[in-house]
Amino acid sequence: MEVLLLGPIVIPLFCAAAGIVLARNRTLQQGAGLLAGVLAWLCSLGVLLVNVQGDILTYRPGGWQPPFGIVLVGDLLASVFAVMATTVMMMGIVYALGCKDKCVSYPAFMPLFLCMGAGLNGALYTGDIFTLFVFIELMVIASVVLVAISDNKLGLEAAIKYLFISAMGTLFLLIGIAALYATFGTLNMADIGRLLAGGERPLLAGAAAVMLMCAFLVKSAVFPFHFWQPDFHTTAPTPVHSVLSSVVVKVGVYGLIRMMTLMFTAEAPLIQDLLIVLGVIGIFFGSLGAFRTYDAKRLLAYSTFGQIGFILVGIGWGTAAALAGALVYAVNHSFIKAALLMITGLVSSRTPGKTSRLSEIGGVGQTLVFISGLYFAGGLALAGVPPLNGFVSKVALVQGGLGAQDWLVVGLVVSAGIITLLYMTRTWQLIFQQAPAQPITLKPYGDQPFAPAVLIGLCVILGLFGSPLLAVAAQTVAQLADPQLYIRAVLGG
Residue 10 in any domain: the answer is no
Spatial separation of the C-alpha atoms in residues 193 and 179, rounded to whole Å? 14
Spatial separation of the C-alpha atoms in residues 93 and 38, rounded to whole Å? 10
Average pLDDT, rounded, for the chain: 88
State the DSSP H helix or E strand holding residue 58, giving kind and residue range, or none if neither: strand 57-59
Q: How many domains does the chain have?
A: 1
- The model's pTM is 0.93
Contact between residue 308 and residue 280 where contact means Cβ atoms under 8 Å apart: no
Q: What percent of the chain has pLDDT over 90?
A: 45
pLDDT band at 338 (very low <50, low <70, confident <90, very high): very high
Q: Which residues contact 37 (CB under 8 A, 6 or more apart)?
A: 12, 86, 89, 90, 92, 93, 94, 117
Q: CA 70 → CA 13, 121, 189, distances in Å?
A: 18, 15, 11
Residue 330 in any domain: the answer is yes
Q: 379 pLDDT exceeds 80?
A: yes
Which is it for the CA torsion 303, 304, 309, 314, positive or negative? positive
Residue 338 in any domain: the answer is yes
Spatial separation of the C-alpha atoms in residues 258 and 356, rounded to whole Å? 37
Residue 52 in any domain: the answer is no
8-state DSSP, 72: E
Residue 182 in any domain: the answer is no
Closest CA to 413 of 313, 319, 305: 313
As a whole number, mean pLDDT of residues 116-130 equals: 93
- Please classify residue 147 by burial: count the beta carbons closer than 10 Å to its beta carbon, then call 0-12 exposed, 13-18 middle and 19+ buried: buried
∠ CA(215), CA(11), CA(20), 5° rounding? 95
Q: Domain of 437?
A: 267-483
Spatial separation of the C-alpha atoms in residues 313 and 9, rounded to whole Å? 31
8-state DSSP, 256: H
Residue 149 in any domain: the answer is no
* β-pair partners for 126: 72
Spatial separation of the C-alpha atoms in residues 362 and 233, rounded to whole Å? 21
For 200-217, how does the pLDDT look when each residue is reduced to its tens digit (9 = 90+)? 777 788 888 889 998 898
* β-pair partners for 59: 72
Spatial separation of the C-alpha atoms in residues 489 and 354, rounded to whole Å? 51
Residue 90 in any domain: the answer is no
Kindly give the residue spans of alpha helices, DSSP state H, lying in 293-406.
296-317, 320-348, 358-361, 369-383, 389-404
Residue 111 in any domain: the answer is no
Q: 444 pLDDT exceeds 70?
A: no
pLDDT band at 493 (very low <50, low <70, confident <90, very high): low
Contact between residue 184 and residue 264 where contact means Cβ atoms under 8 Å apart: no
For 37-90, how does the pLDDT look when each residue is reduced to its tens digit (9 = 90+)? 999 999 999 999 999 998 899 999 888 888 888 899 999 999 999 999 999 999
Based on its alpha-carbon atoms, the radius of gyration of the chain, rounded to whole angstroms, reads 21
Q: What percent of the chain has pLDDT over 70?
A: 98
Kindly give the residue spans of alpha helices, DSSP state H, lying in 98-202.
109-125, 129-148, 155-184, 189-196
Closest CA to 236 of 158, 167, 353: 158
Q: Give the amino acid at 194.
A: R
Contact between residue 490 and residue 58 where contact means Cβ atoms under 8 Å apart: yes
Spatial separation of the C-alpha atoms in residues 225 and 168, rounded to whole Å? 10
pLDDT of residue 21: 87
∠ CA(71), CA(76), CA(80), 5° rounding? 105
